[in-house]
Structure 1
């Protein structure tokens, strides 16, 4: 008899004491209907300040399939996703946020796609019931900006609710950058991909940890992590400005040399053009600063994360995290 395939559920959490008991129940119920699989759950606590550590430790005490790690401070959602993949032992790994807005009942659908031979099954958001229209517009604008500027094809409305195969996890764990855009990295590594549409639930407890401006910060990080197109765009613009300026200079010189009609003396026009040029140059310098900031962050080689606590982790698990923190 062949051993059962192991499925790892990675579950980032920050201040989710009201949602975690339900997450435990729903994940347990889902896998009770999937007896052909074994499973483990890795909870990554991003320095919660509520009862999250106590609750998850209780899960670990009564069910050894649950594992727990806690950061020494809030290292961000992308780092939480990375640590989950470092610890995952499964033949396939599914990320499921502990707020349960991504429905656990879709797990069998992800597994069905994986069994068909897909290595990356991306959850594609069709409807989000708790999001305002303004926030929805901002999110769609951010996605379009990423897709226009990125050098890789990322599905619109893709979320972090996804399944990845073992070979994708192994490939991902070889990547060394500190500034991470995990959705992009999952598509950068390649392999067979498909999409799984779903509707996101309204949040039952607590509030979203992502502020309104997060969409634009997220887009900026994604673009500067995966594309040099914005730099090339400013180079093209600069070349065009130089060409136009050179042509105007020739025209002005010709009017003086050949005593043609004097050029218009439009001081306000000149000031407006200079201000426009200065504004665009400032944007370009700011964009260049973002790229330089990424280089600066990478060059410091600080650990990607620091742990303050763990539960149900083996010595091998901790060793993998120690080496992974340096990547």
Structure 2
């Protein structure tokens, strides 16, 4: 019998934990018919509500449920990595506890794996229910990533996917501290089948991803899988040097020929402010990469476990 390990990151999902289990267990007839056992790994990412208590209640009823509880909130990327480390199955699935990743898609995903695919991934074809500004910036992010990075990231891609053991081991081999799992999925490659589905609203509660958190996450993704911003900073430096050199020549010639007195200090202040802003922007890009290097060489653990069962 083959084993499926399902990884379910949770952060303040007290209301959704039992609902997710109910939806997931509906696939049991399919699993039994195809001789697939399963284990559910709930990864409690330092929740402040009763998420862990709800998981314990489920575990008392079903021994196939396991959990890891972090000492504090380390983020979804750390929770996913912890799940990959604990998963022992022949197949590994990643899904959200809020039911925006419908467990009902698992049978179809298994059929695609049986057809020869290494990974079956999901993507949303609509962003119904999201604020328009958030959807706009999300699409812009995917376009930027695919323009600058050699690692392809599909627009609307979810973390919800089913993969073989070989793919899971490849993901585990990437032990970087600054993790961007969507990029890691693309980096490891393998034969992937994409399933499209309509956006599904959360079952209960509110999203933990504010616009600012998503913005920081997008910066993490861009700096993790492309050095294009550094090249852009270098290009801006060269371009402004050339422009400055041209303006110096122009000023000297104008002075020699026309003898114009020095004037225009307001425009000079604007130019200095512009160039200073560009310099600080480029310095910030370099600083972002330096900060990632700093965190990597400290070699801190990606997460710390408070309780596991």
**Matched residue SS, 1:243:** helix
Cα drift, residue 255 of structure 1: 4.0
Indicate the SS of the match to 1:34.
helix
Aligned to 2:6: 9
Q: Does residue 119 in structure 1 map to residue 109 in structure 2?
A: no
CA-atom RMSD, angstroms?
A: 1.6
Q: Shift of the alpha carbon at 1:220?
A: 0.3
Distance 1:127 1:34 in 2: 30
Q: Does 1:275 align with 2:243?
A: no
Aligned counterparts of 1:144 and 1:101: Cα–Cα separation in 2: 23
Deviation at 1:277, TM superposition (A): 1.0
1:299 to 288, 297, 300: 297
Partner of 1:164 in structure 2? 163
Residue pairs, 1:155-194, within 5 angstroms: 155-194=154-193
Structure 2: gaps spanning 5 or more residues = none
Task: Provide structure 1 residue ranges, at least 5 long, that are not aligned to the other structure.
Answer: 312-327
1:130 touches 1:203 (CA, 8 Å); kept in 2?
no
Shift of 1:99: 0.8
Q: Taking structure 1 as reference, are residues 34 and 47 closer, same or farther at Cα in structure 2, changes over 3 Å only? A: same
Q: Comparing 66-75 with 4-13, which one deviates more in the overlay?
A: 4-13
Alignment partner, residue 56 of structure 2: 57
Number of equivalent positions: 306
Counterpart position of 1:23: 20
> How do 1:188-267 and structure 2 match up within 5 A?
188-256=187-255, 259-262=256-259, 265-267=263-265
Alpha-carbon spacing, 1:238–1:246, altered in 2? closer, same or farther (3 Å): same
Mapped to 1, the partners of 2:131 and 2:252 lie a distance apart of 57
Matched residue of 2:15: which SS? coil
Q: How does 1:17-166 map to 2 (within 5 A)?
A: 17-35=14-32, 36=34, 37-166=36-165
Take 2:237 and 2:259, find their aligned partners in 1: how far apart are those partners?
28
CA contact (8 A) 1:11 1:97 kept: yes
Q: Is the 8 A contact 2:3 2:89 kept in 1?
A: yes
1:176, distance to aligned residue in structure 2 (A) = 2.0
| Aligned 8 A contact 2:120 2:192 in 1 | yes
Match of 1:319 in 2: none
Report Cα offsets for 1:133-166 as digits up to 9, x if no partner.
2222232223223333323111111111112221
Instruction: Say whether residues 1:310 and 2:308 are aligned partners.
Output: yes
Work out the CA distance in 2 between the residues paired with 1:33 and 1:110. Answer: 12
- TM-score normalised to structure 1 length: 0.89
Provide the rounded CA distance (Å) in 2 between the counterparts of 1:21 and 1:135: 29
* Stretch deviating more after TM superposition (158-167 or 266-275): 266-275
Helix, strand or coil: the match of 2:170?
A: helix
How far did residue 249 of structure 1 move? 2.1
Distance 2:158 2:125 in 1: 11
**CA offset at residue 92 of structure 1?**
1.7
TM-score, length-scaled by structure 2: 0.94
Task: Quote the offset at 1:293 in angstroms.
Answer: 0.9
For 1:200, what is the secondary structure of its paired residue? coil
The structure 2 residue matched to 1:288, chosen from 286, 299, 303, is 286
- Does the residue aligned with 1:12 lie in a helix, a strand or coil? strand
Indicate conservation of the 8 Å contact 1:146/1:219, yes or no: no
Q: Is the 8 A contact 1:95 1:163 kept in 2?
A: yes
**Residues 78 and 181 of structure 1 are in contact (CA less than 8 Å); yes or no, is this contact kept in structure 2?**
yes
